[in-house]
Amino acid sequence: MAGALAGTSTVVSYVESAAGVQAGGRTGITAIVTGLLFLLAMLVAPWAQLVPLAATAPALILVGGLMMQPLVDVAWDDPEIAIPAFLTVALIPLTFSIANGLAFGITAYALLKLLRGKITRTDWLLLVISALFVARFVWLSAG
């Protein structure tokens, strides 16, 4: 919540924490250091705008390419999995938002499970989250 109040996407904060755990940081100290570095980054953020977008593009392309590796593990032959995965991957850059891409993917997954009759009692949270995403998109489109 503090990250959201500071203007940082909570998804970004989670990804940074997950990267720390994957790199070997298993204690809370990793999260504290990451948080402190985010605070320091807020102080220099205004100067980041001095770097032209063309200068950051190669780094972003490299990171994007590295992020494609886990897509090998997606069950592309199962439409219930493949369609939400594709929507997530495609809509993150098209909407310029990780959160929107994830919202579309999660909502598509819930809708496909519902339409195929594969929804179970344990999927209640998936349905609630999807309904909240749909309400958010309706709210944003009305404004």
Tell me, yes or no, whether 77 and 97 share the same domain.
yes
| Res. 13 pLDDT band, cuts 50 70 90 | low
**Domain range enclosing 10:** 1-49
Per the model's pLDDT, the better-predicted residue between 13 and 131 turns out to be 131
Q: By C-alpha distance, which of 68, 67, 86 is closest to 76?
A: 86
Residues 40 and 65 in one domain: no
User: In the structure encoding, which two tokens stand for residue 126, read together?
Assistant: 């998936």
> Residues 45, 56: one domain?
no
Same domain? 56 vs 41? no
CA 52 to chain centre: 25
Shared-domain flag, residues 61 and 127: yes
Q: 67 with 111, same domain?
A: yes
Task: Say whether both 42 and 66 belong to one domain.
Answer: no
Q: Is 45 found in the same domain as 22?
A: yes
Amino acid letter for position 24: G
Q: Are 119 and 113 in contact (CB under 8 A)?
A: yes
Least confident residue range of 46-50, 83-87, 136-140: 46-50
Structure confidence at residue 53 as a pLDDT band (50, 70, 90) = confident
Query: Over the stretch 64-99, which tens digit does the pLDDT of each residue have?
Result: 888 888 899 999 999 999 999 999 999 988 988 888
Total domains present in the chain: 2
Nearest to 35 by CA among 22, 19, 17: 17
Same domain, 91 and 128: yes
Residue-level pLDDT at 73:
93
In the predicted model, is pLDDT for residue 63 greater than 90?
Answer: no
Average pLDDT taken over every residue of the chain:
84
Whether residue 70 sits in one domain with residue 118: yes
41 with 57, same domain: the answer is no
Q: Give yes or no: residues 41 and 73 share one domain.
A: no
Note the pLDDT of residue 1.
62
Quick: pLDDT tens for 17-45. 666 667 777 777 877 887 888 889 888 88
